[in-house]
Structure 1
Amino acid sequence: MTDNAPTAALLIIGNEILSGRTQDANLSFIAKYLGDLGIRFREARVVPDVEAEIVAAINALRARYTYVFTTGGIGPTHDDITAECIAKAFGVPLLRHPEAVRRLEAHYAGTGLLNEARLRMANVPEGGILIDNPVSTAPGFQIGNVFVMAGVPKIMQAMLTGLRDRLVGGPVVRTKSVISAIPEGSFADALRALQEQVGAGVDIGSYPSFGGGKISTALVLRATDIDLLARTAEQVAVMLRSLGGEPVIVDGYGE
């Protein structure tokens, strides 16, 4: 499926993800949220807390996609280096943002907990625009087409949903699934021919599963044209019936 809709990529930053200590819980939320806005989520990368790798990844992604989102590395500890790396990628100085400082001062007022480490969370590349954090105050930021967010899922979700007015989408991709007990090997050639017939207007993917001693296959169709999507789903069902299947067509992913 090809169109001119805006595109997006995610850069997940953190040694803890690559070591297996922490499982990423943000990618699926981001992909679905952007998809509902008509933004095509095209790529996700994971990099360690290494300056050169973060800078290289940011520059590669921001040149290729309409929007780039990052998660992780904007906390108060020494290994939180995302802000510095973004500044280096854009070739601008890292500054202490007055409004970010004000928010932190208000949040920690009377606690005696606002130290230099926490004030590091107010460091933003020159020209950066704050991203609100209604959960724990310390903001993310946007510079150019790059949106820098926290890695903690609850905070990330609040930051991302608060960006709605800054994001311009396109036609929303709709999904139908055709589910049957026909194994992939039985319809692979016919499915290939059908995909060639319908062309790029519909993406068709095959996703097998095995449970309770039975095979089930979901053929997932995605398109922006609702009528074309419905017609193609019926063609898939006809193909499966010709192989002895009893396919069921459902909206979405059939979960």
Structure 2
Amino acid sequence: MTETPEIVTPKIVTAAMLVIGNEILSGRTRDANMHFLAGRLTDLGIRLREARVVPDIEETIIAAVNDLRARYDYVFTSGGIGPTHDDITADCIAKAFGVGIDIHPEARRRLEAHYEAGMLNAARLRMARIPDTATLIDNPVSAAPGFRIGNVMVMAGVPMIFQAMVTSVTPSLVGGDRLLSRTVLALVPEGAVAEDLGKLQAEYPDVDMGSYPAFRSGKASTAIVLRSTDKTRLDAASEAMYAIFRRMGGEPFENEIV
């Protein structure tokens, strides 16, 4: 008698991203950081479960930080740590954690080393204000550091600097089981495959399945994205999806496992 393979519960580590800035909500600036962060976290076995955008309003930022840090293993913020009056993220983080904030000696030293003599004015020195108990996140691009306090990573909004800060902090992050992915596509309308896809999902509850319709060469097509930490289960579900598409008269194909 053949036993059904046991479904192993994966180790899941979660994260959220908090994008801070009126310029994002107004449409003046397009956020370019979430895609980068999601990719890096996926490589580490960390699942980005939520992304939220909030304005430069103190009470809104504080509430969002406290909500997200209580529900996810990691929180990554972007924006609001520059030299101008509307850069209030550091102060908001300090209030969210109930700690003080002041010029951090090492942050000041880095800025002094970066700017020419006499160029470190009061506005730029604001970027050295770090909440008590926080540790610095390196910024090899423009010196002004981000910081980490608890499970919250606070970083700049400028994409080049944000990416450098993410790279600096990733060695300290602890991930879970890496999520593998396969995408099976066919020139079959989504409505035609929906019922069978629902049955397949019920058969493989441990494999995440998403359906994405599009037009290819003027014809309706459907891409089914399957994700799991268990390669054996992922392969089995993908092969079953192949069979479903073929029954519908489509010739399925797929991308590489990532």
Structure 1 length-normalised TM: 0.96
Specify the SS of the correspondent of 1:77. Answer: coil
Are 1:14 and 2:21 an aligned pair? yes
Distance in 1 (alpha carbons) for counterparts of 2:159 and 2:127: 18
Specify the SS of the correspondent of 2:85. Answer: coil
* Structure 1 residue 215, shift from structure 2 partner: 2.1
Specify the SS of the correspondent of 1:170. Answer: coil
Specify the SS of the correspondent of 2:178. Answer: coil
Specify the SS of the correspondent of 2:157. Answer: coil
Map residues 182-201 of structure 1 onto 2, 5 A cutoff: 182-199=188-205, 201=206
Give 2:31's aligned residue. 24
Give 2:69's aligned residue. 62
Give 1:37's aligned residue. 44
Distance in 1 (alpha carbons) for counterparts of 2:160 and 2:255: 31
Identity within the alignment, %: 60
Specify the SS of the correspondent of 1:162. Answer: helix
Distance in 1 (alpha carbons) for counterparts of 2:103 and 2:10: 40
Alpha carbons 1:233, 1:249 under 8 Å: kept: no
Distance in 1 (alpha carbons) for counterparts of 2:38 and 2:110: 30
Map residues 204-223 of structure 1 onto 2, 5 A cutoff: 204-223=209-228
- The residue type paired with residue 123 of structure 2 is A
1:228 corresponds, among 230, 233, 242, to: 233
**1:175-230 alpha-carbon deviations (Å, 9 max, x no partner):** 1011100010001111001100111x100101111244222211000011111111
Alpha carbons 2:114, 2:143 under 8 Å: kept: yes
- The residue type paired with residue 86 of structure 2 is D
- The residue type paired with residue 58 of structure 1 is V
Distance in 2 (alpha carbons) for counterparts of 1:92 and 1:23: 32
- The residue type paired with residue 189 of structure 1 is E
Specify the SS of the correspondent of 2:211. Answer: strand
CA RMSD of aligned residues (A): 1.3
Distance in 2 (alpha carbons) for counterparts of 1:34 and 1:87: 25
* Structure 1 residue 149, shift from structure 2 partner: 0.4
Distance in 2 (alpha carbons) for counterparts of 1:216 and 1:26: 30
- The residue type paired with residue 254 of structure 2 is I
1:163 corresponds, among 159, 169, 176, to: 169
Give 2:89's aligned residue. 82
Structure 2 length-normalised TM: 0.95
Distance in 2 (alpha carbons) for counterparts of 1:249 and 1:155: 35
Distance in 2 (alpha carbons) for counterparts of 1:8 and 1:236: 30
Give 1:144's aligned residue. 150
Specify the SS of the correspondent of 2:130. Answer: strand
Q: What is the total number of aligned residue pairs between the two structures? A: 251
Map residues 101-180 of structure 1 onto 2, 5 A cutoff: 101-110=108-117, 112-180=118-186
- The residue type paired with residue 69 of structure 1 is F
Alpha carbons 1:221, 1:233 under 8 Å: kept: yes
Give 1:98's aligned residue. 105
Distance in 1 (alpha carbons) for counterparts of 2:10 and 2:19: 26
